[in-house]
Amino acid sequence: MASAAGIVIEVAEDGRHLSLDRGFMVVSVRGTEIGRVPLDDIAVLIGTAHGLTYSNNLLLALLERECAVVLCGRNFSPAAILWPVDGHHAQAQRMRAQAEITDAFRNRLWQAIARAKVRNQGAVLEALGQPAGAFAELARRLRSGDPENIEAQAARRYWPLLFGPDFRRDSDEPGINGLLNYGYAVLRGGTARAVAAAGLHPTLGLKHSNRSNPMCLVDDLMEPFRPLVDILVHRLAAAGQREVDRDTKRVLAGILVQDLRTEAGVTPLGTCLFRLASSLAHLLLGERQVLDLPLSPLPLDLVSPHTRKEGAHGAQRVSPDVDDGDV
């Protein structure tokens, strides 16, 4: 019953206790309930507070629903993601196919993913009126397995064009880097959930193979979506919001319900992640030929959607960008 584009919950205050009551996650402080959320609606649960306690029953119920539980450390970079051991009925078969993948196949998959990322970086720059022609060209030149490391070349051009020549991407820095970390943490949670639901193993990556990273495949599959976080952060920074606070978190957590164009029509990013992971599983078993990646966003899709104010009724909606047209 869980939908791909659910609620993102963050517990950031000390002294909170999270527990299970029937179909709800209950948040309480010193025994007093302060809120409850239906379990089926939760997509990602982010724990950032130090003095935070969970009940085991709650964690089990969340894992049953393939909800991603992300434990964040300093600067909102994820320290751990809780992983359901049993994610999909055909999991054993799919993981075996994943382990037996050939280098050539892995390289071709990475080519498709990296191309989509570079293309999306170009789309983001274009939406901001920056010169982006080189990115389409770089994406075209990107060969199987990316032997020339065009992904890194693109990144070297991308960051200065996006945030100015003085910007350094450094996950320990505050400000813009903190905002990026937070947006990526939400995105990583959503991707982890999709990978689990598709019955794939998160550690067996395509390009990422860092020995200490247990989430290589998650980091691979989220690559094409990172530029969408980047443009949200750019917009926040341009509006003078550089702190990771309640307002900016709300905007960044909305990344999973942002609409993207796909071959099959417009769907939220959370759903695109599910479709990408499941298409990869089908590809590994030879049941499919291409990865199900969203189409590159048009500049118009990326133009300042979150700046619009709340509806006339003062209602807080699922995202600030809901079509309010008819009732």
Partner 1 sequence: MVLSAYRLMWMMVMFDLPTVTKPDRKAAAKFRNFLLDEGFEMSQFSVYLRFCAGTSQVEARIGRIRANLPKRGKVQILTFTDRQYQTMVCLEARTKQEPAARYEQFKLF
* Contact footprint for partner 1 (CB under 8 A): 1, 3, 5-13, 16, 21-24, 27, 34-41, 246, 249-250, 253-254, 257-259, 265-268, 301, 305, 311, 313-319, 321-325, 327
Measure the CA–CA gap between 19 and 188, rounded to whole angstroms: 24
Pairing of strands 52-54, 78-82: unpaired
Instruction: Measure CA 139 to chain center.
Output: 22
279 closest CA partner among 268, 266, 267, 291: 291
CA dist., res. 83 & res. 218, Å (int): 12
State which residue, 16 or 115, has the beta carbon closest to partner 1: 16
What is the CB neighbour count within 10 angstroms for residue 82? Answer: 17
Residue 13 or residue 263: which is nearer to partner 1 going by CB? 13
CB of 61: closest distance to partner 1 in angstroms?
10
Shortest approach of partner 1 to residue 23 CB, angstroms?
A: 4
Q: Which of 158, 295, 293, 151 is nearest to 231 (CA)?
A: 158
Nearer Cβ to partner 1 (95/253): 253
Nearer to partner 1, 205 or 268 (CB): 268
Which whole-number Å values give the CA distances from 20 to 33, 46, 65, 119, 248, in the listed order? 12, 16, 13, 43, 29
Which residue, 165 or 314, is less far from partner 1 as judged by CB?
Answer: 314
Contact 66, 87 (CB under 8 A): yes
